[in-house]
Amino acid sequence: MRRSWLIFVVLAYLGTLAAVIHAQPVQTPRTLSAEMRSALEPVYTRALPAALRIETVPEGTGSGFFISADGLVMTAYHVIEDTRSVRVVNSRNESFPAELLGYDEFRDIAILRARVNAPVPFLTLETEQGPRAGEPLLAIGNSRGAFIAPRYGLVNTVERDIFPFFNSIAISTTIPLAPGDSGGPVLNQAGKVVAVVVAIGQPNGVFESYLSPLLGLSEVISQLQAGRKRDVPYIGVQLFQIDDETAATLRIPKEGVLIRGLLRGGAAERAGLRGFVVRRENGQEVYDFDVILEADGRAFNDVTALQRYIRSKEVGESVTLTIRRGSQILKIELKLTPNPLRSS
């Protein structure tokens, strides 16, 4: 999972993103003025002692920052996901081992505890007021061989949708980020952290960087500090949109979402759902498959809409799927699980 995120970030930087991002209007961003940048430079100076480089095994580099004097660290979850060990390095080049306390995969944020020997400088989180479109922001990160360096830019929108790469709603900005900046703090002119760096992209030929907002997350962050680990839930299926051609070929109504395949070890496989199979019978091709018509009584004809609904729930919760199998209509209850591919 962590490697797929890194691949996404690199591809996004080269201009390859899912159609869902391309489909959204992107206005040509305004230019950060010299006055705006000048106002943020002292913010960087003050924040620098609390900013961190994150080094992981398997080999990886990301960014993060202290959020408490006793060594609590915030970063992006994908920076430390599936790692065997983590160290954080501050601006004085002091290195501290760290361990994962909690994470929220849905929002791509994580809390670590670094084993510090004395109180450390830390940054204040802003969870009551989010940034506005056009507002100048500062990100601090470790991309392009730099060490805890500043990046300046403007907010494009506070409601950018980059699903399925990011399950929550992101803030998009003009900040010139790159791989290695993930997990870094994004600060406003008051010097408070309003978001965490998660990804970059180039929809419609316009570069954007994406942030996970902290607005309204005070309780969530407290839960992560206490050890909560929230995985994105899966039913364990590969889905296919039923278009006119598919409906005509399979001789089915253009409704629901076709199950193309099952993920090994997933809830759907264990519940006996069927992926798409072609077999020959009496010299003719015969198709066996299931179509998801509803989830918890809600009709779904769109793959993305169904994925969104499932991922809005919690691992361990159940969902009842209404399935068409040939001439049968079945109701099958599934218990949602973490990504079954994570261990592969």
Residue that the structure tokens 């160290």 belong to: 87
Dihedral sign computed on CA atoms, order 225, 128, 165, 268: positive
> pLDDT digit of tens for each residue in the chain (344 aa)?
443 333 234 333 333 233 334 334 555 457 899 999 999 999 999 999 999 999 999 999 999 999 999 999 999 999 999 999 999 999 999 999 999 999 999 999 999 999 999 999 999 999 999 999 999 999 999 999 999 999 999 999 999 988 888 889 999 999 999 999 999 999 999 999 999 999 999 887 889 999 999 999 999 999 999 999 999 999 999 999 999 999 999 999 999 999 999 999 899 999 999 999 998 888 888 899 999 999 999 999 999 999 999 998 999 999 999 999 999 999 999 999 998 766 43
Helix (H) or strand (E) holding 34: helix 34-47
User: Please, are residues 331 and 323 in contact by the beta-carbon 8 Å criterion?
Assistant: yes
Of 343, 341, 342, 337, the closest CA to residue 314 belongs to 337
Give 91: exposed, middle or buried? Use CB within 10 Å, 0-12, 13-18, 19+: middle
For the chain, list the domains and their CATH numbers: 2-230 (2.40.10.120), 237-335 (2.30.42.10)
Q: Would you say 200 and 12 are in contact if contact means Cβ atoms under 8 Å apart? A: yes
Measured CA distances, 196 to 114, 121, 147, 230 (Å): 18, 18, 17, 17
| Closest among 105, 261, 124, 253 to 188, alpha carbons compared | 124
